[in-house]
Amino acid sequence: MRNRLVLLAGWGLGTAPLQPLADALRGLDERLHVEIEPLPELPGSDPQAWLEELDDRLADNAWLGGWSLGGMLAAELAAYRGERCPGLVTLASNSSFIALDDWPSAMAAETFDAFRQACATEPATILKRFALLCSQGAADARGLSRLLVGGAPHCPPAALLASLDLLASLDTREALQGYAGPQLHLFAGSDALVPATAAGQLLDLLADVEIGLIDNASHAFVLERPHEVAAAIDAFLTEVSDV
């Protein structure tokens, strides 16, 4: 179903940040059915369990996409589904959220470990801090962070930690290389969580995929600049459908 796009939410902040983007996409193409899905609340961080849960829950034969962690999961699910996924769109999603020796454009492991430890003791405080990090680089960072926190659902602390541990464990490079369908990967130029240099690293890794950068935009560009993000997605979907 090339006219159906499922967008997975990012960590901790729920589906609200994706709503303006979904509305903008529908405004550009009324034939496009856009669905926003929250992340599962699973007790553990086993990637296979998450993939099986998502595969059972999400519409089959639909384009898969997502923001941040949601995009990483969409990439893994696209490879898992293979021909049952007509295409993939990731938004401010790194191939590895934590820096590796062969993937330096990511968060330092020590920084992530401190964040995870704080989340275990003060999850509400960490969500506010996370919203500020997502908004850093935006024209109105404080206003954007308030929107993110205001729309965040109540998530059990154990589920927050499980999804955070999942985020730490994922490395989507093999999935992206193995998935044969069309791919669009959009990055934000002023992202404080996923360095813009990750776009260049991904371009070196993959051939024949579309990689774009939205300048002067924060990690939360799905909420900050929804019309620009939607225009890039719509142009890609149109280009692919014309091939």
Fold of 4-242: Rossmann fold (3.40.50)
Q: Who contacts 235 (Cβ-Cβ below 8 Å, separation ≥6)?
A: none
pLDDT over threshold 80, residue 206: yes
Q: What is the pLDDT of residue 242?
A: 61
pLDDT over threshold 70, residue 243: no
Neighbouring C-alpha atoms within 13 Å toward the C-beta of 122:
8
Mean predicted confidence (pLDDT) in 58-87: 97
Q: In this predicted model, which residue has the larger pLDDT, 67 or 243?
A: 67
Mean predicted confidence (pLDDT) in 212-237: 97
Q: By mean pLDDT, which of 46-50, 98-102, 168-172, 207-211 is the weakest?
A: 207-211
Q: Give CA–CA dist 87/36, Å, rounded.
A: 16
pLDDT above 70 covers a percentage of the chain that reads 98
| 113-142 per-position pLDDT tens digit | 999 999 999 999 999 999 999 999 999 999
Do residues 70 and 58 lie in contact, with contact meaning Cβ atoms separated by under 8 Å?
Answer: no
| 15-63 per-position pLDDT tens digit | 999 999 999 999 999 999 999 999 999 989 999 999 999 999 999 999 9
183-188 vs 88-91, strand pairing mode: parallel
What are the domain boundaries of the chain?
A: 4-242
Residues assigned a catalytic role: 68, 191, 219
